[in-house]
Amino acid sequence: MAEPDAADGLRATGERIDVLLDASGAGGVVARERAEELVRLVADLYGAGIERILEILYDAGRLDDDVLGALAGDDLVASLLLVHGLHPYGVEQRVERALESVRPYLGSHGGDVELLGVSEEGTVRLRLLGSCDGCPSSSVTLKLAVEGAIEAAAPEIVAIDVEDAPAEGGAETLIPVASLRTRLDAQAGDQASWEPLPGLPDLGPGEVATVEVGHAAVLVCRLGTDLFAYLDRCARCEASMQGVVLSRRLGAAVGEAVLRCPRCQAHYDVRRAGACLDDDALHLTPVPLLTEGGITSVAIAVPA
């Protein structure tokens, strides 16, 4: 994957190109057309060069699945391949790979996402499954985690639909589209953005930390290599849980842990989206958490 600094620099370069193209318009229509033609010609030249590189690798027998996977896994290279129509994977395969990247987060809360198909018009049909149903952050999960991953991997996608369908045998629950949109509307204009989490390299397995992210206090804990994040607010006593520790339930499997509020002693299952073990109607508020390019970020709602 491209290093964060490199990605930021390339993004700034793209923005600078747009600024220069807009500035060229001050010289009149002809000046702008010439500037745009110059950009197209340069892009075509580099596109032809990238295509020739791939042909040379193929002729040399070096363009195997591992090399293709490495090229497609690099953000910068993948974006260039997409621009020039040279990406080795089709749109449906890229969408599925994008969903794979967010499944660890969904799975950490007992959920999953199913790809139902991609239409010829560029519409992705999805189904969100599992115990994410009813979770207050599910609308943020859909918008930032799932949709964001798909849009990055397949920018030609024009729409993402989440279909409503009955659960089989009551074993699974589905996040209905109407429910998601209702929650979004209920936020009264609130939006959410990814914010980097500070101090995570120092957080060891079995440890818990409370960090300030934007305007919110976030409780972060690590189970093995897995990270979990919740808003720092007990669902029962509504107080901060600062000072909370992870503990293992009696008889629970290895790797499972609970958080016990240091004030009211309520217990919450870390791996089950913060479900309260003392009251089925209560749970902590999960915060979407993803790691990309070595940077771990959480999605925090902010007033619009």
pLDDT exceeds 90 at position 262:
yes
- CA 54, CA 110: separation in Å to the nearest integer? 41
Say if residues 210 and 218 touch (Cβ distance below 8 Å).
yes
- Give the per-residue pLDDT at 266: 93
User: Are residues 180 and 197 part of one domain?
Assistant: no
**Which residues sit opposite 111 in a β-bridge?**
130
pLDDT tens-digit readout, 135-179: 545 555 555 677 778 887 888 888 888 764 444 444 433 334 343
Which residues are CB-contacts of 281 (< 8 A; sequence separation ≥ 6)? none
pLDDT tens-digit readout, 29-69: 888 888 888 888 888 888 888 888 888 888 888 888 888 88
pTM of the entire predicted model: 0.49
Say if residues 132 and 272 touch (Cβ distance below 8 Å).
no
At which of 186, 205, 233 does a domain end?
Answer: 186
At which of 146, 167, 186 does a domain end?
Answer: 186
User: Are residues 263 and 231 part of one domain?
Assistant: yes
At which of 31, 50, 83 does a domain end?
Answer: 83
Residues spanned by the domain of 266: 192-302
Nearest alpha-carbon partner for 199 in 208, 190, 186, 187? 208
User: Are residues 79 and 61 part of one domain?
Assistant: yes
pLDDT tens-digit readout, 196-233: 887 676 788 888 999 888 788 999 988 877 788 899 99
27-43 as b/e, with b when 16 or more CB fall inside 10 Å?
eeeeebeebeeeeeeee
